[in-house]
């Protein structure tokens, strides 16, 4: 009996701790201290998008890569130093590049409300804005994250690679507290953007002992990708690749329609349609765009809650590239 009540107390305590952690973030967090934070960030993101269409996918991906490594603490923004190679110089982050947009927003925010808005919150708000400006859903971003002080390139190995199968993807997401639905839903971010040939070349060249190309791909589409990547000219050009979706600057459900048509670019994308645990979600989102939008907003809020720092464990950086 005594043992049971100890367990019960522990259980209640665990719930309280979890609730306190969730409460750290709040959609009104800057209401008194920086009331125009959202407008300032949206303006910067909007202008940057008008002059470079690669900005939205890069910022959306940046949010994912930030949150999956050490939590959403802007560790992805820290520059390498003489004695430390930072996350942004880890292989998966080489093509993120849009850091300057966050720097611009931060500079404006430091003028409007000095030392108030964290870099981690700027990424979270900017990620919502790029989705919404591209025609996708809007959601209230919870705020109040603090910036971390550590960033290590070797920890980017925590990110999924395009060779993962569905089981590996599900396991990795569940390690972060994200379910199968979050995996399929967040992968819908690939409705925006581009992939380099290096991320899918194993599907179109010497796939295995029996097939040169991945047999789960539509044959015409596989040939298109092959043409894009296999010619000598394109092989020598490291920037060659293909759009992840046929409407790659619009946030819509086309990505899922293409998976159903076996025209996914990355093996990890197509795996979501090929696996019985994820297939019905892909089919549902391909059919009902509104459902995808509602679930995407919910999963982005969950992603944004990963490993959030409070003021005991983090700071508000003055410049996003350096610790204070
Ligand atoms: C499920 C596991 C995932 C894997 C294995 C994966 C892998 C990749 C790879 C290999 C690329 C192409 C990179 C390149 O060749 O330059 C890419 C692009 C991209 N990823 Fe993911 N990704 C995953 C999930 C996500 C999530 C959850 C998000 C955001 C919520 C996301 C957002 C993006 C975006 C927007 C792009 C396009 C980037 C650009 O155009 O610059 N990805 N991803």
Query: Is 69 marked as a binding-site residue?
Result: yes
Residues taking part in catalysis: 65
Cα separation of 147 and 149, whole Å? 7
Cβ atoms within 10 Å, residue 33: 11
Indicate if ligand 1 lies below 6 Å from the C-beta of 309.
no
pLDDT of residue 212: 87
CA 81, distance to chain mean position in Å, is 25
pLDDT tens column, 299-319: 999 999 999 988 788 999 999
Cα separation of 235 and 214, whole Å? 19
**How far does the centroid of ligand 1 lie from the alpha carbon of residue 181, in Å?**
17
Cα separation of 162 and 183, whole Å? 14
248 DSSP assignment: T
Looking at ligand 1, which atom is closest to the CA of residue 266? 10
pLDDT tens column, 264-292: 999 999 999 999 999 999 999 999 999 99
- List domains and CATH numbers for the chain: 24-158 (1.10.520.10), 166-303 (1.10.420.10)
pLDDT of residue 234: 64
Cα separation of 238 and 58, whole Å? 18
Q: Is residue 232 very low, low, confident or very high in pLDDT (cuts 50, 70, 90)?
A: low
Cα separation of 146 and 194, whole Å? 31
Q: Is residue 206 very low, low, confident or very high in pLDDT (cuts 50, 70, 90)?
A: confident
pLDDT tens column, 38-70: 999 999 999 999 999 999 999 999 999 999 999
Q: Residue 21 pLDDT > 90, yes or no? A: no
Cβ atoms within 10 Å, residue 160: 18
pLDDT of residue 201: 92
Q: Is residue 239 very low, low, confident or very high in pLDDT (cuts 50, 70, 90)?
A: confident
Cα separation of 248 and 250, whole Å? 6
Average pLDDT over residues 9-25: 50
* 307 close to 70: Cβ distance less than 8 angstroms: yes
Cα separation of 101 and 126, whole Å? 9
To test the ligand 1 pocket, which listed residue (56, 58, 64) has its Cβ within 8 A of the most ligand atoms?
A: 64
Cα separation of 286 and 280, whole Å? 10
pLDDT tens column, 81-123: 999 999 999 999 999 999 999 999 999 999 999 999 999 999 9
Indicate if ligand 1 lies below 6 Å from the C-beta of 194.
yes
Q: Is residue 158 very low, low, confident or very high in pLDDT (cuts 50, 70, 90)?
A: confident
């Amino acid at each position: 009996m005594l043992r049971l009540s100890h367990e019960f107390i522990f259980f209640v305590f665990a719930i309280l701790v979890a609730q306190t952690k969730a409460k750290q973030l709040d959609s009104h967090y800057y209401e008194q201290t920086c009331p125009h934070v959202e407008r300032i960030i949206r303006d910067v993101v909007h202008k940057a998008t008008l002059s470079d269409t690669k900005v939205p996918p890069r910022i959306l991906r940046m949010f994912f890569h930030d949150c999956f490594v050490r939590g959403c603490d802007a560790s992805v923004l820290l520059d390498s130093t003489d004695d430390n190679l930072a996350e942004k110089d880890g292989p998966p982050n080489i093509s993120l590049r849009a850091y300057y947009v966050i720097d611009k927003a931060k500079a404006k925010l430091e003028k409007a409300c000095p030392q108030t808005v964290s870099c981690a919150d700027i990424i979270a708000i900017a990620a919502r804005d790029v989705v919404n400006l591209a025609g996708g859903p809007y959601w209230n971003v919870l705020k109040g994250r603090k910036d971390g002080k550590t960033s290590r390139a070797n920890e980017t190995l925590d990110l999924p690679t395009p060779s993962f199968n569905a089981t590996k993807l599900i396991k990795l997401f569940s390690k972060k507290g994200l379910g199968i639905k979050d995996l399929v839903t967040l992968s819908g971010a690939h409705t925006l953007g581009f992939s380099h040939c290096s991320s899918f070349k194993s599907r179109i060249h010497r796939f295995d002992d029996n097939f040169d190309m991945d047999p789960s791909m539509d044959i015409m589409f596989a040939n298109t990708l092959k043409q894009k990547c296999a010619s000598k000219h394109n092989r020598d050009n490291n920037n060659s690749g293909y759009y992840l979706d046929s409407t790659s600057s619009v946030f819509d459900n086309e990505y899922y329609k293409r998976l159903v048509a076996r025209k996914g670019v990355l093996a990890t994308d197509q795996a979501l349609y090929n696996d019985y645990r994820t297939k019905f979600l892909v089919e549902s989102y391909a059919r009902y765009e509104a459902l995808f939008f509602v679930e995407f907003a919910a999963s982005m809020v969950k992603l944004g809650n990963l490993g959030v720092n409070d003021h005991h464990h983090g700071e508000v950086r003055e410049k996003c590239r350096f610790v204070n």
